[in-house]
Amino acid sequence: MSTYAAPLKDMQFVIEELVGLADITAMPVCSEVTADLVEAVLGEAGKFAAEVLDPLNRIGDRQGAQLANGKVTPPAGFAAAYKQFTEAGWNSLSGPTDFGGQGLPHIVAMAVQEMWNSANMAFCLCPMLTSGVIEALKLRGSPEQKKLFMGKLVTGEWSGTMNLTEPQAGSDLSAVRTQARPEGDHFRIKGTKIFITWGEHDMSQNIVHLVLARTPDAPEGVKGISLFIVPKFALNADGSPGGRNDVKCVSIEHKMGIHASPTCVMAYGEGEGAIGYMIGAENRGLETMFIMMNHARLGVGLEGVALAERAYQHALDYARTRVQGRAIGQKSGDRVTIINHPDVRRMLLTMKSQVEAMRALAYTASAALDKAHHHPDEAERKRNQAYVDLLIPIVKGWCTEQSIDVASTGMQIHGGMGFIEETGAAQYLRDARITAIYEGTTGIQAADLVGRKIGYEKGATAAVVIAQMRATAKALAGHAHADIAAQHAAFVRAVDALAAATQWVVDTFPKDPNAVAAVSVPYLKLWGIVAGGWLMARAAGIASVKLAAGGDPEFCKTKIATARFYIEHILPQAPALAEEVTGGAASVLAMSDAQF
Amino acid sequence: MKVLVGVKRVVDPNVKVRVKADGSGVETANIKMAINPFCEIAVEQAVRMKEAGIVTEILVVTVGLPQCQETLRTAMAMGADRGILVETDVDVQPLAVAKVMKAIIAKENPQLVIMGKQAVDNDCNQTGQMVAALMGWPQATHISKVEPAGDHAEVTREVDGGLETLTIKLPAVVTADLRLNEPRYVTLPNIMKAKKKPLEVIKPDALGVDVTPRLTTLKVVEPAKRGSGVKLADVAELVNKLKNEAKVI
């Protein structure tokens, strides 16, 4: 079994050099976030992830969360780890400073969360959902609600959940039926919610459920849904947890992965109705949910990066130790470790190069989010918001789909042993599979991309990003480093493919949205691959400058070689995908339902 | 009571150490560095004594490159109050460090000096002993327990074949062994606070200490690779090989 080691060098390179920590630090609210502070935080988080969370990952997978008599018990060691996690202050990393949080920028939280997810994604889901509730309170909470809930959620003494889905309301939330009846200063909630992650457990002292529900005279559809806070233990007058609220977990799901994370069916109001407090304006709940969901989608995209990284480390460890066969062309002599076999090297590089491209893309979106929130100049804030809005469905859709591929390749490197659970490679594949489904499936991400993010604005933001890619392409041509200059033609072909497909989407969307929807997922994948290639090319350029200036030679040379592999092995998919986008819609729509 | 803790920046124990191509030492450029594990235990002990109300102030001291400030920040994130870096690019040896420590002790007047029993890079296990000798103070090395009481401290030392309990007069130097405690995980708020704690940087010259090495490293090599074993027919052949090939009997 491999042990997790946080990829600190690559994380720091991406944060400091590629997305530019200096730009973040230049913003007044982030002035304390110096490179040495980031290094200290990442270093300690890496240690905690490796020593506390990673060893529990397998135990969590094998034991799973257990439900008995309405109580959910997490796997052995999880409660103690949660206590250690919150006591060490990690839950408060990006929380607001006026409620005891450390107020660190999103980009730092991003790297730290990647570590938690790599080490133990099932565990990490609990604090991740808590931060979603904190975000909702920050956005729409009344001063009184903030005072009651925020402090405890920031420390992690209380945890949070999101209650959207109902049996008949999955991707289509307009079908939500849970009822909220006003009663004095609160509401009584009745209904059933499913797929509630960490909906019930005893690691925290209270659980703050965010619940979508309808008030009695709410209009039909999405414009009649409000958002409520429903604590597991109703609050006493002084804000401390009192008696049990009328909400309970009635069952937990048997899942393919993330076994340690209880996925609950929650019953609200089997008795007199659960006490809930409306957050934000009546009938505007979905709006708040969507702002939060943007964060959450970036977070799930990051889960893809994290699992891919962990699967790579696991496969690399095996490839370095497993001895099998002689080197090609050798009839005698010592047998070699499988990392010496060209096809295994190719698989390892497929994993490594995509992990780095995915990390670069996810962190780029995160830095843009910081600038969209904190930049002193309003035009810059707007520009970055548009950028991050475009990137989020790509990060979520592409990084999660690729994490499944990467984890599957990791299993392949193990050969037959990979199919055996004891080896540990299978868990990463099983855990990765959900990331492309929850918080909006890849299809939903692609619909968001071609509709809200490209179609409605006629590709304006996309054009800006493509222009930046062309600027990078120009810098590649005639680059002093031969390995980088050689990538120019392939990179230009890929950007041309993206530009042509984008033009087709912009032209076709107003007159035939069905055709665009039919090829939206390959279009999203095209974006991911080309954007990843763009950032890898830029990373190689930066690495060559650093190399010439006496930077870490091993890291810089590895980065340049990895970028070259990506451009030669991954990027050639771009023209093929563009062809599928621009010419493939008709055949999707050609058959009648009966012909399937 | 004021405590002074000496700490050293070393190659992270989880990193595989490589010998430099020219054999002049081990590679430290672009390698992950960390606080020496025994020094970390020494800091932890001081912090626990402060939490117990025995210690009022913890000063951490290190000698070396500017990057050693990170090591002091780690110690301060664990709970030390302030740090001093005696900055030099000389590859300092135990005697030089002990002299620096002596100069700082003279300025700061701590009642107790805690150091790691040795650093995991070159395993010297000398600096604590030298500091005690230069100060003319009692020393207790390889300790697994220390309990100050008034003008003395009761310590337990890990010695061959058991534990030795001693009473030493303060001020004194003690060096930490593995079982003294288990260091805590640094908390995030404390990492942030450590950034604001005072950290003084001075040069050895300002202390009147000459840190020039007294020993010369001739060559550093990796241990020889172990060859594959052979199966022997009988004891006679084994004795023969030990006598004539290995030349050990």
For residue range B123-134, list pLDDT tens digits in order: 999 999 999 999
Q: Which residues of B touch A52 (CB under 8 A)?
A: 185
User: Of A150, A175, A209, which residue is a domain's last?
Assistant: A150
How does residue B38 score in pLDDT terms, banded at 50, 70 and 90?
very high
Cβ neighbours of A87 in B, within 8 Å: 187
Q: Helix crossing, A285-321 with A106-140: angle to 10°?
A: 160
Query: How many independent structural domains does chain A possess?
Result: 3
Cβ of A8 and B32 within 8 Å? yes
For residue A523, pLDDT beyond 90: yes
Write the residue in B30, B73, B185 that is nearest to A40 by C-beta.
B73
A112 with A87, same domain: the answer is yes
- Cβ contacts of A41 on chain B, cutoff 8 Å: 188, 191
Confidence of residue B43 (pLDDT cuts 50, 70, 90): very high
Residue A478 pLDDT grade (very low, low, confident, very high; cuts 50, 70, 90) = confident
Using the beta-carbon criterion (under 8 Å), do A92 and B189 form an inter-chain contact? yes
Q: Residue A500: inside a domain, yes or no?
A: yes
Where b means 16+ CB within 10 Å and e means fewer, B59-96 reads bbbbbbbeebbbbbbbbbbbbbbbbbbbbbeeebbbbb
Q: Rounded distance, CA B119 to CA B10, Å?
A: 7
B30/A93 CB distance under 8 A = no
Q: Whose CA is closest to A187, among A165, A216, A159, A162?
A: A216
pLDDT of residue B224: 87
Task: Decide if pLDDT at A1 tops 80.
Answer: no
Minimum distance, in Å, between the CA of residue B186 and any CA atom of chain A: 7
Residues A393 and A451 sit within 8 Å (Cβ to Cβ): no
Is position A170 within any domain? yes
In terms of domains, do A482 and A362 share one?
yes
Q: Rounded mean pLDDT of A213-219?
A: 96
For the residues A536-556, what does the mean pLDDT come to? 95
Answer yes or no: is B212 within a domain: yes
Confidence check: pLDDT of B14 > 90? no
CB contact under 8 A, B70 and A40: yes
Mutate to test the interface with A, among B40, B185, B190, B193 (most CBs of A within 10 A): B185
Whether A379 maps to a domain, the answer reads: yes
**Closest CB to B70 among A36, A89, A553:** A36
Q: Are residues A76 and A100 located together in one domain of the fold?
A: yes
d(CA A480, CA A250): 64
Q: For residue B145, what is the domain's CATH number?
A: 3.40.50.620
Q: Are residues A117 and A172 both part of a single domain?
A: no
Residue A106 inside a domain? The answer is: yes
- Quick: pLDDT tens for A50-97: 999 999 999 999 999 999 988 999 999 999 999 999 999 999 999 999
**A residues 538..557 contacting B (CB < 8 A):** 552-555
Q: Which of B16, B20, B74, B188 to mutate to test the interface with A (most CBs of A within 10 A)?
A: B188
Q: Which domain holds residue B177?
A: 2-244
User: How many domains would you assign to chain B?
Assistant: 1
Q: What is the pLDDT of residues A352-377, one digit of tens each?
A: 999 999 999 999 999 999 999 999 99
Nearest to B188 among A41, A51, A555 (CB): A41
Q: Which of A44, A87, A439, A554 is catalytic?
A: A439
**Amino acid A171: pLDDT:** 85
Closest residue of chain B to A4, computed from CA coordinates? B14
Mean pLDDT in residue range B57-70: 97
In this structure, are A382 and A498 located in the same domain?
yes
- Note whether A197 and A220 are same-domain residues: yes
Q: Is the dihedral of CA A342, A348, A352, A358 positive or negative?
A: positive
Give the H/E segment covering residue A250. Answer: strand A247-252
A67 and A164 assigned to the same domain? no
Q: Where are the alpha helices (DSSP H) in A4-105?
A: 8-13, 21-25, 35-48, 54-63, 78-87
Residue B67 near residue B90 (C-beta atoms within 8 A): no
- Specify the amino acid at residue B209: V
In a domain, A593, yes or no: no
Q: Do B185 and A553 touch (CB under 8 A)?
A: no
Q: What is this model's ipTM?
A: 0.88
Strand-pair partners of B159: B162
Cα distance between residue A474 and residue B134, in whole Å: 65
**If you average pLDDT over residues B197-210, what whole number do you get?**
97
pLDDT at position A54 is: 98
Q: Is residue B249 part of a domain?
A: no
| Residues near A230 by beta carbon (within 8 Å), at least 6 away in sequence | A163, A189, A208, A209, A210, A211, A245, A247, A268, A274, A275, A276, A277
Averaged over A566-593, what is the pLDDT? 97
Q: Residue B63: its pLDDT value, please?
A: 98
* Record: contact B32-A88, CB cut-off 8 A: no
Same domain, A146 and A261: no
Q: Are residues A372 and A324 in the same domain?
A: yes
Q: Which two tokens stand for residue A84?
A: 């250690």
Q: Which of A125, A150, A175 is the last residue of a domain?
A: A150
Is residue A439 part of the annotated active site? The answer reads: yes
Report the alpha-carbon distance of residue A483 to residue A537 in Å, rounded. 11
Question: Contacts for A421-428 with beta carbons within 8 Å, 24 or more apart?
Answer: A423/A318, A424/A1, A424/A2, A424/A58, A424/A314, A425/A311, A425/A314, A425/A315, A425/A318, A427/A57, A427/A58, A427/A61, A427/A257, A428/A307, A428/A310, A428/A311, A428/A314
Q: Is residue A275 part of a domain?
A: yes
Q: Which of A234, A254, A285 is the last residue of a domain?
A: A285
Q: Whole domain around residue A233: which residue ranges?
A: 159-285
A390 and A430 inside one domain? yes
Are residues A188 and A317 located together in one domain of the fold? no
Residue A3 within any structural domain of the chain? no
Same domain, A112 and A144: yes
Give the residue on B whose Cα is nearest the Cα of A101: B189
The answer to whether B192 contacts A37, with C-beta atoms less than 8 Å apart, is yes
CB atoms within 10 A of CB A213: 29
CATH of the domain at A462: 1.20.140.10
How close does chain B come to A88, measured CA to CA in Å?
4
CATH classification of the domain holding A120? 1.10.540.10
